[in-house]
Amino acid sequence: MEKIDFKKKYKNLYLPSAKEPVVVDVPEMQFAMVDGEGYPGTSKEYMDSMMVLYGLAYTLKFTSKLSGGPDWTIPPLEGLWWADDMEAFGDESRKEEWKWTSMIMQPDFVTQDQFEAASKQLKEKKNPEGLEKARLEKYNEGLCVQIMHIGPYTEEAPTIQKLHQFAEDNGYSLRDKHHEIYLGDPRRTAPDKLRTVIRQPVSK
C-alpha cells in the first residue's frame, strides 16, 4: 500500500510561494490538538504539547500500519496563535499573554475510538505530561491568505505585515486566529533556512 504524503496531496496548502501571498480555500481537516498559553521559547507547556502530539501521531500511524491499514508520512507541526487583547499578539514585551493551539493534522479516516486507544497506549508506554489535554477535533478555516516565510521565527514580522497588507489591498478583512505551519526542524535546520507557512483566515 502506497504511503500517503499529505504535504504533496495538499501542496497548495503546505507549500506556498515565498515571493507573493496567495488566496486559498482550506477544507475542513482533522487535527490532534493541545491548547496552552505563554511564549513558546520559554513555555514548558508548549514543549510538553509537542511530545504529546508527536507521540499520538506516531502511535496512530504505526497502529494502522501494523494492522494492514493505510500508512502515511507524519504531517508537520502547526500552531494557532492569538491573545485576548490582540494588541498583545506579536508584542514581544507581552508574549506571556499569547495563547496557542499546537496541532498535527490526522487523516480523516482516523476515528475518535482509534484516537482514544492511541492515547491509552501512549499513557501506558510513556505517559507524557499533558497527555490528558489532547483531543481530536475537526477544524474548518475556509478562505485564507498565506505565504511561505523563510528564516528565523523571530523575524516573521515583515512577512506577516506583507500578508496582512495583501489581504487589505485585495478587499479582505482579517478574522479568527493566526496560523503557522512549521516545515523545518529547528534542532536540525539553520535558522535562516527554516520554512514556515504563515496563514491568516479572511472574509470578503
User: Which of 139, 166, 186 is the C-terminal boundary of a domain?
Assistant: 139
| Shared domain check, 165 and 82 | no
The pLDDT tens digits for 57-81 are 999 999 999 999 999 999 999 999 9
Number of structural domains the chain divides into:
2
Q: Does the predicted model carry a pTM greater than 0.85?
A: yes
In this structure, the answer to whether residues 178 and 120 fall within a common structural domain is no
Looking at the structure, tell me whether residues 177 and 200 fall in a common domain. Answer: yes
Q: 55 vs 86, which has greater pLDDT?
A: 55
Domain membership of residue 160 as a residue range: 14-27+140-204
Identify the helix (H) or strand (E) that includes residue 69.
none
In a domain, 7, yes or no: no
- Average pLDDT of the chain to the nearest whole number: 93
Choosing from 106, 122, 139, the residue where a domain stops is 139
The per-residue pLDDT for range 123-179, each reduced to its tens digit, is: 999 999 999 999 999 999 999 999 999 999 989 989 999 999 999 999 999 999 999
**Backbone phi, psi, residue 92, to 5°:** -60, -30
Same domain, 174 and 204: yes
Q: Residue 197 sits in a domain of what CATH number?
A: 3.20.80.10
User: Mean per-residue pLDDT for 10-33?
Assistant: 97
Q: Average pLDDT of 24-29?
A: 98
- Tell me: do 130 and 183 sit in the same domain: no
In tens, the pLDDT along 86-138 reads 666 666 677 777 899 999 999 999 999 999 999 999 999 999 999 999 999 99
> Are residues 132 and 162 part of one domain?
no
Whether residue 2 is contained in a domain is answered as: no
Query: Is 19 inside any structural domain?
Result: yes
